[in-house]
A and B are shown apart, each in its own frame.
Chain A
Amino acid sequence: MVDAIAFPRTLLREQSSRWSLRGATIAGGQTGIGALPRISIDGGGTWQAQYDGIVLRTPDHVRRWRQYELIADAGVQPLVIPMCDARQAPQLARRAGIPHSDGEPFSDGAGYSQPLATIGVAAALRATTVTLHAEASDVVFAVGQFFSVDHLVQGRRLYGIRSIESQVGLNTVVTIRPPLRQALAGAEAVILDDLGCVMVLQAPDSMNLTLGLRRFASPSITAVEYFYSPA
């Protein structure tokens, strides 16, 4: 198994972006009364991320882009493509780090961190209903919101909240898409502030860089979700 390498957020200063769940359907054509029978055979869809007009203006930017173009290895190396969705994420107060038992932080002033939310109840592979447990009362889940989970084998995966079924205390039962990529035992961290998904470039030349005036570039990147074989 090839470990995925995180794609740097500093390179994703794009003019437009799109994350979409791609599916495969077979349509039978429109019937005389206007119905459009359709069969879906994709099992819930797979993520495709597209970032267009990424702003590269400094030599550092250009070198960094070239570095990750080489790391991507023409689409062979899995990457964790970050989703920049801070505007739609829950707006939370800055958390102070948790100190040691004697009340003192680390020497640099930082403390331990803990997830904002966890998986409340174990969920099976391909489950579409999960229980999210908020670790604090200001962590609120909303429909249309995304979250990531680090799976043991499948790595970081992205899920979208489709509906909220119930909310009892700090536990919220939600339905999600796509279906879970791997079973969850419970207590895994629900990542709200560092969204991402293990992906590979859709085409080998998805990161090709064309420089204007030998300085500037506005490249694009298109990636599709990647799956590891189950252990």
Chain B
Amino acid sequence: MDFNADEIAALDADAQRIGVFFRLEVDPVLRLWLGLGPCEPGVNTLDPVGATYLGAGKLLNVSDFDHLINGAAQRVEFALSGVSDDVQAQLTVAANTVRDRPVALGLGIMGPDWQLLGAVRWCWRGYGDYLSADRTSEGAEAVQTVTLSAGTLMTGRRRGRNAYFTDQDQQRRSPGDRFCERTGLYREEVRKVWPRF
């Protein structure tokens, strides 16, 4: 993820303008961004000829996400507007087909004039799992949201995979391999004794 000089200068400032882009590869592709109004971020690795991303509250929230560490890749949930006609139309059609469809979350750095300084950087890629609808009441108004749960290739609903850097997991992966046999000694609580000569 190489940033150009303009982007680095913008990120170096005290206040940054950042566009958050969401892409779900159903048919047709659902493209949303956290800003207001439609946005055409131009060519990037996932949109080779460019595309329009819909804004204005259609993408409500993006949760924090981590990359795979110690086999614990969390799920990422995207809250989408439950009443927006175009989002609703696409998700209704796509409800049965989101599973295993590619999901991407990207960042675009904007300058002081709200123009993108470079292409959208897709910093998280995963796969759709399921959609769930939620309806809450806020005063006199009911608020309906649709949540897309997504995970990475390493996220599963089955038992944990052998992804820890422990000797047990390493033996299951590669029987006889000794690469991780001493990792147990690197726990915080272990006191390292200075060797006696």
Question: Residues of A with Cβ closer than 8 Å to B?
Answer: 24, 35-46, 124-129, 154, 175, 178-179, 181-182, 203-205, 225-227, 229-230
Contact = CB atoms under 8 A, between A and B. Distances in A.
B17 A178 contact: no
Interface of B: 14-20, 33-40, 52, 54-56, 85-86, 110, 113-115, 139-141
A230 B14 contact: no
Contacts of B16: 38-40
A163 to B, nearest CB: 10
B36 A40 contact: no
Contacts of B52: 230
Nearest to B62: A41
A40 B18 contact: yes
A44 B35 contact: yes
A203 B85 CA distance: 18
Given A203-B141, A227-B55, A230-B52, A126 B40 contact: yes
Contacts of B110: 43
Contact of A37 (B15, B20, B37, B140): B15
Nearest to A23: B36
A204 B141 CA distance: 8
A166 to B, nearest CB: 15
A227 B113 contact: no
B115 A43 contact: no
A229 B115 contact: no
A41 B85 contact: no
B40 A41 contact: no
A41 B115 contact: no
A125 B141 contact: no
Contact of B114 (A38, A154, A179): A179
B90 to A, nearest CB: 11
Given A39-B16, A43-B19, A43-B39, 5 more contacts: A41-B17, A42-B34, A128-B115, A203-B140, A205-B140
B18 A125 contact: no
Contacts of B35: 41-44
A162 B34 CA distance: 24
Contacts of A40: 15-18
